[in-house]
Amino acid sequence: MSLRILLVRHGLSSFNLEHRIQGRDDLSSLTEEGVKQALATGEALRDLPITAAYSSPLRRAHDTATALLAAQGGGLEPCLDDDLLEVDLAPWSGLLSSEVQERFPEAYRTWKQHPQQLVLQRADGSSYAPIPELMDQARRFVDRLLAEHNPSSPTPQTVLVVGHNAILRCTLLTLLGLEASGFRRLRVDNASLSVLNLSADGEGDLSVQIESLNGTTHLHPEVCGGRLPSKGSGPRLLLVRHGETDWNRQGRFQGQIDIPLNENGRAQAAAAGDFLRKVSFQRAYTSSMARPRQTAEGILSHHPGVPLASVRDLVEIGHGEWEGCLESEISEGWGELLAAWKRAPETVQMPNGETIHDVWDRSLRGWNTIAASLHSDETALVVAHDAVNKTILCALLGLGPADIWAVKQGNGGVTVIDYPHGPDQAPVVVCLNQTAHLGGVLDRTAAGAL
């Protein structure tokens, strides 16, 4: 079985509202809106069995955890853990962001562009690097968490972790095996919910799957489907996986066989359309296959006049001789190759089909061409397939072809990517695999095999 980790950032604090630097000083508190956010998050998780809860001891996080757990109804109290303290920005603590930018322009620029390189001075005159220190702190927390809640345990476990923006980013990077250089590739909003599924094989090798990142739809239940995180400067792309087909339901490898949406898939497309009804799209792109085109058309039914273009590079992986087969049928003829595909997909050549490297190269070529064509104020819709979306997202997160199973893409799931500094600079994964519009904030079943 496996371990599910729920990562929640504290609700809106007084310093968040004032745009002040908080760091690990305990000078700010939850606002009234922050308390509402904590309660809404707990309500979204109501009756979900939670094994244990951990929180930063800082008031804004502790109060969020306490309110969340009360609304969740499981009777848990949070265990306070110093390794969930926020990043140490003591020289800037309490200052407005604008004041830091004015008084420390070079350091502030480093913080925004290359935070892992930032060096500050403590009160005693010694120097320290806040983000590398925070990565070490995150590793300690993760190591102790996994020792306490073994992912190879026969009993499914769900653990809640309530912390802060920077420590949660470092925790995510640590779980994904990424370096501190990926710090700015992730976004963690107030009271957002990120879900990771962990499992371990008989030899103790850990596998991590991102079920979702930075979900905020539960904070706006009055809005149909909720809301996406706010857009800043730079172009935005929404990446959606097509709705369900009969072959998805049957567990057949469909690849480049052009299977259309089934009734449920059309309903998923309609639900995604309702969810994205208020998003202003300027352009839309789809794989040249029927199932993503039908999904895109369902979404764009609320956006008349938005042009929809087909992109050949976004077609699904070619499974070759596996296409149309059930996994049990593939196992009979290509048992070892199928096992390798699950264990090490980057090593597999599909029989008369493609490799994941083939898909990686063409899907990123298509994606980057789209991103480069957008103006800074534009938002584009891109609808594609499971393997295509996974290769794109792995690349954007800093993962590689070996890591495609680390990213979950549900039928009709929505992912948001921003390019705040332009399409030639590093993107930000704003949120990943949002599926609340399909029913529920997260999959209520135990985390499945990766």
**Cβ contacts of 368 within 8 Å, gap of 6 or more:** 423
Nearest to 278, CA basis, from 319, 220, 198, 338: 220
- Strands 379-384 and 283-287, by their bridges, are parallel
Rounded CA gap, 438 and 275, in Å? Answer: 9
**Cβ contacts of 209 within 8 Å, gap of 6 or more:** 196, 197, 198, 405, 406, 407, 408, 447, 450
Asked whether 258 and 430 are in contact (CB, 8 A), the reply is no
Rounded CA gap, 267 and 65, in Å? Answer: 36
Residue in this structure with the two tokens 């095996």, named with its chain if needed = 177
Nearest to 97, CA basis, from 12, 21, 16: 21
Question: H-helix or E-strand containing 240?
Answer: strand 236-241
State how far Cα 118 lies from the chain centre. Answer: 25
Burial class (CB in 10 A: 0-12, 13-18, 19+), 272: buried
Q: Residue 316 catalytic?
A: yes
Whole-angstrom Cα Rg for the chain:
22
Rounded CA gap, 337 and 346, in Å? Answer: 12
Q: 238 - beta bridge partners?
A: 381, 416
Q: Which of 86, 244, 316, 323 is catalytic?
A: 316
Rounded to 10 degrees, the C-alpha dihedral 425/196/35/84 comes to -80
**Local structure of 419: helix, strand or coil:** coil
Distances (CA, A) of 384 to 30, 293, 348: 40, 8, 22
Report phi then psi at 384, rounded to 5.
-145, -145
Q: Residue 242 catalytic?
A: yes
Q: 431 - beta bridge partners?
A: 416
Query: How many Cβ atoms are within 10 Å of 328's Cβ, its own excluded?
Result: 9
Q: Which of 242, 319, 385, 437 is catalytic?
A: 242
Catalytic residues, which ones?
A: 242, 316
